[in-house]
Amino acid sequence: MYDLTRVWPTAHPGYARRMSNVFADESIDVVAPGDIIAVDRGSGPQPYKVVHKNDGDDSYLVTLEGDDGETFEQEFAAGTKVTRSLESKWESEQSPTPNT
């Protein structure tokens, strides 16, 4: 589990602003497009938005997007634990319902 209280508020201000309800150690199996998850690409965990998730036999190929709009794919073994925000969809500008 990462201590994201030190990383997320400063790393990606766009996604960090929407991270009001962080849950540690969720399974990648329950992550869905629109969720914001922590991914370590070598410089510590940073928040990325899940854009797409492909189900494989024993893994998931997940397309992630950073605040700068850069997208990349990362493969996760089924059952991998990740840190995610359940509220990210509701707080997103793309939310289908008003979020006042």
Residue 51 sits in a domain whose CATH number is 2.30.30.30
Domain count, the chain: 1
Residue 97: inside a domain, yes or no?
A: no
Residue 62: inside a domain, yes or no?
A: yes
How far is the C-alpha of 78 from the C-alpha of 8, rounded, in Å? 25
Residue 67: inside a domain, yes or no?
A: yes
CA 14 to chain centre: 13
List all residues 6 or more positions away from 47 whose beta carbon is below 8 Å from its beta carbon: 4, 8, 11, 12, 15, 16, 19, 36, 37, 38, 85
SS3 88: helix
Tell me the two tokens of residue 29.
Answer: 């199996």
- The pLDDT tens digits for 26-70 are 899 999 998 999 999 998 999 999 999 998 889 999 999 998 999
Residue 31: inside a domain, yes or no?
A: yes
The parent domain of residue 23 ranges over 4-90
Residue that has been written with the tokens 């965990």 in this structure: 45
Residue 42: inside a domain, yes or no?
A: yes
pTM for the whole thing?
Answer: 0.68
